A and B are shown apart, each in its own frame.
Chain A
Amino acid sequence: MNIAVFVKQIPDPALPGELDADHTLKREGKLVLDESDSYGVEMALQLVDKAGGGEVTLVSMAPNNEVSGLRTALAMGAAKAILISDDALAGSDALSTAKVLAKAVERAGEVDLVMAATESTDGYTGTTPAQVAELLGWPSLTFAKHVEIGDGKVTIQRQTEAGYDVVESSLPAVVSVTAGVVEPRYPSFKGIMAAKNKPVDEVKVTDLGLTAEQVGWAGARQQITNVEAAPARAAGEKIEDDGAAHEQVVAFLEKLKVI
């Protein structure tokens, strides 16, 4: 069982986001592993373990040959990584990103499954995994909250509005997992040391057989025309509870005629 896992490396989500002059998200400074992808990494490691063989290959597209997030995932137990980093990729939208990631999956060799998160923390388009699947001509099982593999098939519980659906497909396939599907492990000290020597295959856009026109700003075909602060909502009354605040809540609800 060989699994390719997409891991996005993003600016620290705890820091306030900022836009660059060209209206793209500022991505300078250290990037970290998107926590959403740590679930995919953990799930992939467990599935390979259960299958009794194979390995996990990470795939990441990031600026400035960023590896800090990859090292975190390698320390968790992934065997190796493919890193696509190229100035031509600046401004890439979801479709361009998907084209790059799909080519990288082909480069990874025999892969039974691609694992991704449902949506990234900074971009959250939530389309990339199904776009990759369509590019590869594979089935996609998205919004998985439970994943099992057996008999050459993958079976998931797919989140729906009403509950969940059980969805099954042949392999190879793309699966995107929701947060919380598994408990991501903390890298051990040994894992962190080993990660330093694990191979990272650094590739450019042309190595993947793509041209600069297909990706980056040129590929995005959209233009940001306006950026402004959202109108703020005004605060109303604030009271300290002196033991009778509930009476004011009741009065407020009465005034609104909900009771």
Chain B
Amino acid sequence: MKIWVYAEPAPEGDKPATSTLELLTKAREIADTVEAVYVGSNADAMAGPLGEHGATKVYAVDRGEALAGVVGAAALASLVEANSPDLILFAQSYDGRDALARLSVKLDKPVLTNGTDLKLDGDRAVVGTAIFGGNTLVDTKFEGDGPFLAAIRPKSFAAEPGGGGAATVEQVSAPDAGRAGEARVLEHHVEEQEGPKLEEAAVVVSGGRGLGSAEAYEPLVEGLAHLLKGASGASRAIVDAGWVPYAKQVGQTGKTVKPKVYVALGISGATQHLVGMKGSDNIIAINKDGEAPIFSVADLGVVGDVHKVVPKLIEALQARG
């Protein structure tokens, strides 16, 4: 079994994305050969962590100003024939989905997406997904000939180094992507954010519609997150309402988080929200409705008004210094 992982750089550009390392960790558990196909610059800096997490070889492609997914799909298609991987894994990320989608057409292979689990049944990959807001688990097996193409949601597996040395880097030139290559990236905008990243923070404090207004988010949610050295998140209701940017959304159509502590402020706990956070080690919920579904997953549930409980909580934490 040979697995390829479509490797992406972290937003900072100097190391692989955590989701890539998660996929490599899982791949090395089930495959004899694990290799990475990386689109971007700095391939030599990536080779260390990629190797440490299980890749023995990295095929590296520069993308210039073209979209990573377009270059990635073209490069993968040209490499597949000579190297015959059995399974190619992508993170369910922006570029991961682009690359997967285009490659599926080039190879005329189906795709399985939103995977949260991966196993083998003989020489066939079986992808587990959670549907209906995470209430139902479905296993789907590929039929026909490989390579099989699957996208896995970030945070489905833990990223753990396995002690391997740096992967060898083979630089490959980007094949002509035709008109698809005409889309160019003109500018990168980095939205500065303070504190740890949502997916990596040990503490996540999220706010929902129960905050009552956009103005309450900063003092209550960000205020508490800051004191706990955590990150701030949100339910979709307040993202759609424009109170906070999409990047903060936790749930089925947002991010999956698994912090040590998740604090939900004024969030009802719809299944689509729960699926993004119920893997947290500990959950604290504050909601004024004692019947809110969020309490069914909370280790500590406070039936109360966020405007009363949270300011006192913040004050008590500040008093501790």
Interface residues of A (CB under 8 A from B): 16-17, 19, 23, 93-95, 98, 119, 124-131, 133-135, 137-143, 145, 155, 157-170, 173, 178-180, 219-230, 232-233, 235-241, 243, 245-250, 252-253, 256, 258-259
Contact = CB atoms under 8 A, between A and B. Distances in A.
Interface string B52-96: 000000000000000101100100000000000000000011100
A143 B93 CA distance: 11
A129 B100 CA distance: 12
Interface stretch (B37-45, B166-174, B184-192, B207-215): B184-192
Contact of B105 (A131, A170, A225): A131
B81 to A, nearest CB: 18
A95 B114 contact: no
B137 A228 contact: yes
A159 B140 CA distance: 30
21 contacts: A17-B131, A125-B113, A125-B114, A126-B97, A127-B97, A127-B101, A127-B111, A130-B101, A162-B191, A173-B183, A219-B110, A222-B110, A226-B137, A233-B296, A235-B296, A236-B298, A238-B290, A238-B298, A241-B304, A245-B304, A253-B261
Given A93-B110, A127-B111, A226-B138, A239 B302 contact: yes
B108 to A, nearest CB: 8
Contacts of B239: 180
A100 B187 CA distance: 34
B214 to A, nearest CB: 14
Contacts of B297: 233, 235
B180 A137 contact: yes
Interface string B241-261: 010001100001100000011
A161 B143 CA distance: 33
A54 B82 CA distance: 47
Q: How large is the interface on B (under 10, 10 to 19, 20 to 34, 35 or more residues)?
A: 35 or more
Interface of B: 10-12, 17, 67, 69-70, 73, 92-94, 97-98, 100-102, 104-106, 108-114, 121, 126, 130-132, 134-144, 151, 178-191, 202-203, 228, 239-240, 242, 246-247, 252-253, 260-261, 278, 282, 284, 286, 290, 295-305, 308-310, 312-313, 316-317, 320
Contact of B309 (A17, A130, A170, A246): A246
B100 A127 contact: yes
A161 B317 contact: no
A153 B61 CA distance: 27
Contact of B183 (A126, A140, A162, A229): A140
B191 A225 contact: no
Contact of B101 (A131, A138, A237, A259): A131
Given A17-B131, A23-B138, A127-B104, A223 B143 contact: yes
Contact of B137 (A222, A230, A236): A230
A252 B124 CA distance: 45
A169 B184 contact: yes
A226 B139 CA distance: 5
Contact of B102 (A17, A125, A130): A130
A213 B242 CA distance: 45
Contacts of B190: 162-163
A233 B143 contact: no
B150 to A, nearest CB: 10
Given A179-B240, A222-B112, A258-B202, A165 B302 contact: no
Closest 6 CB pairs of A and B: A241-B304, A130-B101, A236-B299, A162-B11, A163-B191, A127-B101
A140 B98 contact: yes
Nearest to B240: A180
Given A163-B189, A230-B137, A238-B295, A138 B261 contact: no
B228 A239 contact: no
Q: Which of A128, A235, A247 has the most chain B CB atoms closer than 10 A to its own CB?
A: A235
B303 A223 contact: no
Contacts of A222: 110, 112, 140-143
Contacts of B290: 238, 240
Contacts of B261: 253, 256, 258
A248 B302 contact: yes
A142 B98 contact: yes
Contacts of A128: 101
Contact of A249 (B70, B253, B284): B284
A23 B137 CA distance: 12
